[in-house]
Chains A and B, each alone.
Chain A
Amino acid sequence: MNIVDMLLTHAPALTIAIPLLGAFLTPLISRVSEKGRNIFAIITVGITALFVFLMASEVLSNGPMTYVFGSTAATVQQSTVIRILFEVDALSIFMAIIGIILSFVAVVYSYAFMEKNTGLDKYYTLLLLMTTGMLGMMLTGDMFNFFVFLEITSIASAALVAFWTNKAKAVEAGFKYIVISTIGALFVLFAIALLYGQYDALNMAKIAQSLGISGFTFIDKIALVLLIAALAMKGGLAPMHMWLPDAYGRAPASISLLLVGATQASLYGLFRIVFTVYGDVISLPSISIGWILVLLGLITMLIGVIMAIIQTDFKRLIGYGAVAELGYMALAVGTGLTIVANADPNITLETAPFAMKAITGGLFHVINDALDIGLLFLVAGAVYYATKETSLNKLGGLARNMKYTTIFFIIGLLAVSGLPPFNGFASKLLIYESTYQLNPILSIVAILSSILLLAIFVKVLHSVFLGPALPKYETVREVPKSMLLAMAVIAGIIIVFGLFPQVIVTNLVEPAANALVNNSGYLQWLTGGF
């Protein structure tokens, strides 16, 4: 009892500290043995996963959990104390579960995928650093701490995107990614400085309380616009999405998987700021601010799908598919925001219940999209490992030699395009039905994009796996077992989420949606004194 309780109270800090310690121990261990370092990385991520699930069981039953780095008293002699507070509520733990599943699968997949490369000690160090940054972004309750973890994640992931330095395109993609990330992060810092200058607080809950007292001034509007634009750029919403196919398409496949998690962590930051920090004041007099997210989501879906049909490179095509899926999330949460952030007192959540369903659908789509697009990236990596070829025009007839990979690709294809009985259908059904009630055109565009996504991936299936047997691929064998195991774990989760969606939605997604819409749970420690 005692040891579990002690681990539970320190779990938020340990979730960040264990991968960080593992990242800096990896070069030391790799001097001793190579296989030992790979096993050490898997064990580190496994222990972090245990802590995340321990926190999940606590947060989902007892409410938000806080952890303070600094003084436990809120004020000392009537002046506020400088400290960093981690606040884990249902939305944070939902995103952390996604992040740690993606990280674990990436590390298991890298065991065999990256085996023939040199410089692997740097690879595993950067991968564990990226896990730290991602989890830190999701668990923190302090704005400047969010910026620091955002920068850690972007630096580690830019170095990993450019990992294959012998290829010119990978280095170019890494350069473009770090330029875009830095500009986004600098504008986030500018907005954080504006908010600090107004309210003398860096804590998200304290800023939310001060905003509620003082109202929506002009400087707050500027800070909100800067934050939305910068975090939307980091989250891959059009028309600022163009770095995404470059970075996802040229990185190693396991890193593309983690980059999906990092992009969704930026979208989590956007939702947290718009709903929780600005929750009480965000209402413009004539039109709701949620229409920004709805329009960005619409444009993202259309551009992503239309650009994907004409691609000839395997992973770049999946990258454009990922852009389209991000549009779904923005569309769904934006639909909810148009009702929540409405200045008209007659339109509330009770009179428009589709808003809650829209936010639930959007958040459920976050985890479904991470799993589906992740599985497709892993299959692309497996095909690259077996044939050293990425162009769709040159591949063909691989289903004869790689049977399991084909089955996983078919599962990923059906899940991404939203066909029953997989998990994509459940979340997309929520999105279609709830956005229809805001405006029918939104639902029509969403269904059209789903059909085009099916068309895109059937094209890939035809080109890569079906077709006549090419003579140069006769010696291609199935990929090693650890890669198949990683793909099987994700395919298993996809099937389980598809067959029992109500269990997941009631226990994981609806608490997260409630925590997003109603920020009193986030602010409760301010009055309780902590």
Chain B
Amino acid sequence: MIANIPYLAVAGLIIIGLYTLLFKKNLIKMVIGITILESGVNLFLITLGYRMGSVAPIFTGNADNPVMSYPVPQALTLTSIVIGVAVLALMLTLVIHIYRHHGSLHVSKLGGDDQ
């Protein structure tokens, strides 16, 4: 059961992220919700690489052969974190421009569906 706690945390983070996106009306809160969703997926990637009782996958000069966790999910997670930073920067820039145009951050201002 204790080994499943990271997976429960992943589910919780994804649900919190989706809840923020669906039900909150402030644009900055929606951006934070996307960041939480992305942290959940990154946590899932990292948790996949763990083996019971393992150490970091770095070859030191020691002679003993400890169990190492998989390095590939760690590389994937680093890539994903960098992509998340770029997306966050772009989203916040667009929120700044929206604030300059409308003066408020309410999501209904983004309607623009002039039919």
Contact = CB atoms under 8 A, between A and B. Distances in A.
The judgment on whether A and B are partners is yes
Interface of A: 82, 144, 148, 151, 155, 158-159, 162, 165, 168-169, 171-176, 178-179, 182-183, 186, 189-190, 193, 196-197, 202, 246, 310-313
B44 A190 contact: yes
A175 B79 contact: no
B57 to A, nearest CB: 12
Contact of B94 (A148, A178, A190, A310): A178
B91 A179 contact: yes
A463 B97 CA distance: 34
A158 B80 contact: no
B76 A144 contact: yes
29 contacts: A144-B76, A148-B83, A158-B90, A159-B90, A162-B94, A162-B97, A165-B97, A168-B98, A168-B101, A168-B102, A175-B98, A175-B110, A178-B91, A178-B94, A179-B30, A179-B91, A182-B34, A182-B38, A182-B87, A183-B21, A183-B34, A183-B37, A186-B41, A189-B45, A190-B44, A193-B48, A193-B76, A196-B48, A310-B115
B102 to A, nearest CB: 7
A246 B114 CA distance: 11
A176 B37 CA distance: 17
Given A148-B79, A155-B86, A178-B91, 17 more contacts: A168-B102, A171-B94, A171-B98, A171-B101, A172-B112, A173-B112, A175-B94, A178-B87, A178-B94, A183-B34, A186-B37, A186-B41, A189-B41, A189-B80, A190-B41, A193-B44, A196-B76
A313 B80 CA distance: 38
Nearest to B72: A82
A311 B34 CA distance: 32
Given A151-B83, A158-B90, A174-B94, A193 B45 contact: yes
A169 B90 CA distance: 17
B6 interface: no
A186 B18 CA distance: 12
Nearest to A161: B94
A202 B30 CA distance: 31
B15 to A, nearest CB: 13
Interface centre among A148, A182, A202, A310 (most CB of B within 10 A): A182
Interface in B63-96: 72-73, 76, 79-80, 83, 86-87, 90-91, 94-95
Nearest to B27: A175
Contact of B112 (A179, A183, A246): A246
A197 B48 CA distance: 6
A311 B95 contact: no
A175 B98 CA distance: 9
A197 B50 CA distance: 11
Interface in B95-111: 95, 97-98, 101-102, 110
Given A171-B97, A175-B110, A155 B87 contact: yes
Contacts of A158: 90, 94
A172 B98 contact: yes
A178 B90 contact: yes
Interface centre among B41, B83, B86, B114 (most CB of A within 10 A): B83
B47 to A, nearest CB: 9
Interface in B22-67: 27, 30, 34, 37-38, 41, 44-45, 48
Contacts of B83: 148, 151, 155
B95 to A, nearest CB: 7
Nearest to A188: B41
A426 B48 CA distance: 49
A168 B103 CA distance: 11
Contact of A311 (B44, B45, B87, B115): B115
B4 to A, nearest CB: 14
Contacts of A312: 115
Contacts of B90: 155, 158-159, 178
Contacts of B48: 193, 196-197
A76 to B, nearest CB: 14
Contacts of B41: 186, 189-190, 193
B49 to A, nearest CB: 9
Contacts of A310: 115
Contacts of A311: 115
